Structure 1
Amino acid sequence: MTSTTLPPALDSAVVVESIAGLVCENYVFPDVARQLAALLRRRSADGSYRARSAEELAEAVTADLRSVNGDLHLALKYHDVPVPPERGAAVLAAMRRDFDTSLGGVPRVELLDGGVAVLEIAPKMFPLDWAAQPLAAALSLVAPARALILDLRRNTGGDPDTVAFVCGYLLDRRTHLNTMLSRQGEVAEQSWTPPFVPGARFGGSKPLYVLTSGNTFSAGEELAYDLQQLGRAEVVGEATRGGAHPREGWTVHPHLEVSVPVARGVNPVSGTNWEGTGVRPDVPCGAEEALERALALAVARMT
C-alpha cells in the first residue's frame, strides 16, 4: 500500500490540533480527555508528528491516544480510500464494503451432527437497518435446532442495536441488556431486547454456546458478555480484546478518521463491563479448537 502524504494545506499540526479538540470535548472520561489533549499538543509542538504520511501519522497518534488508559476504541484510523467529511461517514463506508461481501454479516449457517446448528456472525454487527433481514432469516433457520453454536471469533464490532436484535431470538422475554452512561455520568440510553422479532425464535432454554477469539471486539464482545452474564450461554474460546466504550468518528482529513468513545456501558447483572479485561470464556481453549469443544459440550448435554 502506498502511503498518502499530507498535503501542505492541511499539515500534521492542523490535523493533530483538531484531534486534540475533539478528544477533549467528547471523550467519555473528562480527566483523561484533558491529559490526552495535552499530550497530543505537546508531541505536536516538539515535532514528533512532523513530515509523516497520513498512514504513519495514524499509527503515531493512535499509540499516543492509547498510552494513558489503553482504550482500544481511541484511534486515528487511516483509510486508503478518501472518505466523506460527515460525522460517522468514514466507518460506515468501510462497513458497507464488508457488508456487501459477507452475505450481510452471516457468512455461515450449518447443521452439524446431533442437530447442533452453527451460526457465524462476521465480520461486524452491521447497522440494524442493513442487517435485520439476513439475521432474521438465519436466526429463524436455526430456530428448530436442538442446540446452537454462535460463532463470534471473527466479529470485530458494530451496532449495539443489532446485538439486542440477535438476543431477542435467544431469550424468551424482553430483557434489559445494557445501560449507557454519558461522560457526565448520566443515563444516556438503555438497551433492551425487542418485544417482537420477525420469524421464529431459538428461545431461552435450549443449549447455547458462543465462540470467541482474541480478535473478538466491541459489539461482538457485547453479545458474548450479555448472554454470559444472563446465564444464557457458555462462552468457549479465548479472552476477547476488551473494548466496551461506544465510539463516534470524525473525519479530520480525507484519509483520516478519529475514533472517540463518548459513553460507557454498564451491564445490569455485573454492574460493570468488559473494558480492558475482555470477555473471559467459561471454557478456555484456543480459538481454533473452540468449535470442536462447543460441539462436544452440546452433544454431551443432549445425551
Structure 2
Amino acid sequence: MTILTKLQPAPVIDETARLLTEHYVFPEIAEQLTGLLQRRLAQGAYDVDDAEELARLVTTDLQSVNGDRHLSLKHHTDPVPPKQGAANLAAVRREFDSSLGGAPRVALLDGGVAVLELAPMLFPLEWAAEPLSAALTLAARAQALIVDLRANRGGDPDTVAFVCSYLLDERTHLNTMYWRAGERSEQSWSLPHVPGARFGGSKPLYVLSSDSTFSAAEELAYDLQQLGRAVVVGERTRGGAHPREGWTVHPHLEASIPVGRAINPVSGTNWEGTGVHPDIPCTAADSLDRAHALALARLNDLPVAAV
C-alpha cells in the first residue's frame, strides 16, 4: 500500500473502502458504506486540503448507516507509522505512564467503603496487570467497593476479564467475542487465580458510569451488571461494543474499523448503540456520593429509601 504525504482524498477513500470490505464485522453494512464513500467522493464532498477536516467528513458518513462509534477515520496531529495498530500506541503508552498504570486513585471513604478509579483506559494487560493487581489487592480488604469508570474511554477486553477476576469468587463466563476474521468466536472468562487478594463476589460492589464511559469500560460495567454482581450508578454510557483495529491510510489518518462484536452470555446481546443503562440513574457528578450512601445503607442494613 502506498501512503502519500500530501493529502489526496481519493487514495484515502479507496484504501478505507478496501479495509471496510475486508475487515468490518458486518459485511452487508461494509458494502453499503463503501458505496456511500465512493458516491460522496465522486460528488466532491471530500475535496478538502485539511486532513482533520477530511477525517471529520468521512467519520460522519461512516457512522451514518448504523451509528457505530468505533467506526471512524481518525486524525492524528503527529505523523503515525504505517504498521497496523501503531497509530495510537505511543500516545496510549504516555497515558499509561502518567496515570499510575490506569489506576490513578484508590481511597478509603467513611464506613469502610473503598473507591477505585480506573482511568483513562483499561490498558493492555501486559502493561496493566501489575498496577491493577496492586490497586485491587489494596482495595480487597474494604467492606464495600466503588469502581469509578466515569472517565474511562475503553481499552483491552483481556484487562476487563482480569479486573472481573478480583470481583468474583470463581471462574465465570463473561462474554463471547465474534470475530469477522475466520468467522470464529472466542469466549472470555474470569481467571481461576489472581496475583494478590480478591475483593470477592459477595461484598457490596458499585460501578460509576457517565456519558463518556465507552467500549471496554462499558463491557466491565455491563458484564458485572448482567451477572448481578454490581449496581451501576450514574449516567447511560456511550454505546460502543465492537472491538476495533486501526490501519494507517495517510501519515495523519487512521481508519478505525470494528473487527468483532460482543455477545453477553446472560443477555444474549450487548450494549452497542444503547449504552449500559444504570440501575440507579443520576448525574455523573452525583454518582460517587450516591453510591457511597447506598453502600453505607447496605452495610448497615438500612432500607434503600433511607439513603
Q: Normalising by structure 1, what TM-score?
A: 0.96
- 2:155 partner amino acid: G
Matched residue pairs, number? 298
Residue identity over aligned pairs, in percent, reads: 70
Contact (CA 8 Å) 1:24, 1:36: kept in 2 or not? no
The residue correspondences of 1:82-101 to structure 2 (distance < 5 A) are 82-101=79-98
Report the Cα offset of residue 187 of structure 1. 3.6
Contact (CA 8 Å) 1:249, 1:259: kept in 2 or not? yes
Residues 1:228 and 2:225 aligned together: yes
Q: Which position in structure 1 is the counterpart of 2:207?
A: 210
- 2:240 partner amino acid: G
**Which of 146, 161, 168 does residue 164 from structure 1 map onto?**
161
Gaps of at least 5 residues in structure 2 are: 301-307
- 1:176 partner amino acid: H
Report the Cα offset of residue 184 of structure 1. 7.8
Q: Which position in structure 1 is the counterpart of 2:20?
A: 23
Q: Residue 151 and residue 222 in structure 1: after superposition, are their counterparts in 2 closer, same or farther (change >3 A)? A: same
SS of the aligned residue for 2:88 comes to helix
Q: Residue 184 and residue 31 in structure 1: after superposition, are their counterparts in 2 closer, same or farther (change >3 A)? A: farther
Q: Which position in structure 2 is the counterpart of 1:255?
A: 252
The residue correspondences of 1:125-274 to structure 2 (distance < 5 A) are 125-183=122-180, 186-274=183-271
Report the Cα offset of residue 278 of structure 1. 0.1
**Which of 282, 288, 297 does residue 285 from structure 2 map onto?**
288
Post-superposition, which runs of at least 4 consecutive aligned residues in structure 1 deviate over 3 A? Answer: 6-10, 183-187
SS of the aligned residue for 2:177 comes to strand
Q: Which position in structure 1 is the counterpart of 2:298?
A: 301
Counterparts of 2:133 and 2:158 in 1: how far apart (Å)? 14
**Which of 36, 43, 47 does residue 44 from structure 2 map onto?**
47
Contact (CA 8 Å) 2:178, 2:261: kept in 1 or not? yes
* 1:127-157 residue CA offsets vs partner (Å, 9 max, x unmatched): 0001001000000000000000000000000
SS of the aligned residue for 2:87 comes to helix
Q: Normalising by structure 2, what TM-score?
A: 0.95
Of the structure 1 ranges 6-15 and 291-300, higher mean CA displacement relative to structure 2 is found in 6-15
* 1:187-240 residue CA offsets vs partner (Å, 9 max, x unmatched): 421111112110000000000000000000000000000000000000000000
**Which of 273, 277, 281 does residue 274 from structure 2 map onto?**
277
Gaps of at least 5 residues in structure 1 are: 1-5
SS of the aligned residue for 1:89 comes to coil
- Root-mean-square deviation (CA, aligned residues, Å) is 1.4
Q: Which position in structure 2 is the counterpart of 1:106?
A: 103
Counterparts of 2:17 and 2:274 in 1: how far apart (Å)? 27
Contact (CA 8 Å) 2:4, 2:250: kept in 1 or not? no
Counterparts of 2:63 and 2:189 in 1: how far apart (Å)? 31
* 1:161-182 residue CA offsets vs partner (Å, 9 max, x unmatched): 0000000000000111111113
Of the structure 1 ranges 205-214 and 18-27, higher mean CA displacement relative to structure 2 is found in 18-27
Counterparts of 1:293 and 1:176 in 2: how far apart (Å)? 30
